[in-house]
Amino acid sequence: MKPTRFVLALAALFWTFCLMAQTDTSIPLNKHYFEIYPEDSVNHVFNKLVSYSKDSTKLERIFTRDGKIQRVVMTKPPTKEYHEQVTDQYNAYNELEWRRTENLLNSKFLTLYYFDNKKVGEILSESDTLFFVARNGETKPIQQSVNDFEPMIGGSKEDWSEFFAANIKLSAKLYSKEPAEYWIAVLVNEYGIVNQVEWANHLGGNQKIASQLIRVLELWGNNFSPALDPFGHPVTKWLLIPFRMRGGISRSLKVLDIDSF
């Protein structure tokens, strides 16, 4: 066993003995890591177990349907200025692909990327427009205004907001007084071409609203930039776009690392 795998195995064993409470049944997830209805066998890709340690730290372990570990999310109790969440993503060989440490209070994060058990890239987010990026094992990060580890909507945020407002068509009776969040997933290939657009978080949502959001994104066309991997190569990757409805819809371009989440 390689040293890194051994350390990870010990860490997993440590958490197993530290757990105070654990869900008796697994929670089904789709390929975007959102919860689904138990009877939804078509979209069932992962299973999640939720546990809590003595200090109320939440541990979510996500497995493939054949029992291989896919992701581990550890969320610590919040303090006044910091609410830490650490996400580890594993490949089919149980090797760490990336680790993201995020402050949930302000969305600042650090993601480290690994290949063959070695760190090959990183990105530090100080704000929505300030990132420090290193690739190919470089030790000195470069400052840039975008997170190009993820696909990006082309053009400016103003262009996208104007396009959205001009093309969204929702009946007034569909607007709920209760807050609602819709995540639309866009699969952008290495050439910036959209291969697929779909609703990612089906649970409890309204299909008519989701269909309208999908329609607008399809009208937007192939106006996307592909994600770059830790070596700077364009790759096919899902982009997750949240639309938050609060008696109306407000646009948000915040993207979770959900090849990522």
**Extended beta strands in 104-179, E state:** 108-115, 118-127, 130-134, 142-144, 152-153
Buried-state track 88-107, b at ≥16 Cβ within 10 A, e below 16: bbbeeebebbbbbebbeeee
- State residue 174's pLDDT score: 81
Q: What is the pLDDT of residue 260?
A: 33
What is the DSSP-derived secondary structure letter of residue 35?
B
pLDDT, position 139? 82
Give me the domains of the chain, ranges plus CATH numbers. 3-106 (no CATH), 152-251 (3.30.1150)
pTM of the model: 0.85
What are the tens digits of pLDDT across the range 218-233?
A: 999 999 999 999 999 9
Task: Write out the two tokens for 136.
Answer: 């190919």
Which tens digits make up the pLDDT trace of 161-178? 899 989 988 887 787 777
Amino acid at 233: H
Give me 129's structure tokens: 């427009």
Residue with tokens 């399809």: 218
Which residue pairs from 245-253 have beta carbons closer than 8 angstroms and sit at least 24 positions apart in sequence?
245/175, 245/176, 245/179, 245/180, 245/181, 245/182, 245/209, 246/179, 247/175, 247/176, 247/177, 248/175, 249/168, 249/170, 251/160, 251/161, 251/164, 253/153, 253/157, 253/160
Residue 119, Cα to own-chain centre: how many angstroms? 20
Rounded Cα–Cα distance for residues 121 and 115 (Å) = 9
Q: Tens place of pLDDT for every residue, the chain, 261 residues?
A: 444 554 454 455 445 545 456 655 799 999 999 999 999 999 999 999 999 999 999 999 999 999 999 999 999 999 999 999 999 999 999 999 999 999 999 989 999 999 999 999 999 999 989 999 999 978 899 999 999 999 999 988 889 889 998 998 888 778 777 788 899 999 999 999 999 999 999 998 889 999 999 999 999 999 999 999 999 999 999 999 998 887 545 443 333 333 333
Structure tokens, 191 = 């050439």
Nearest CA-CA partner of 120 in 146, 147, 149, 144: 149
Cβ atoms of 210 and 176 within 8 Å: the answer is no
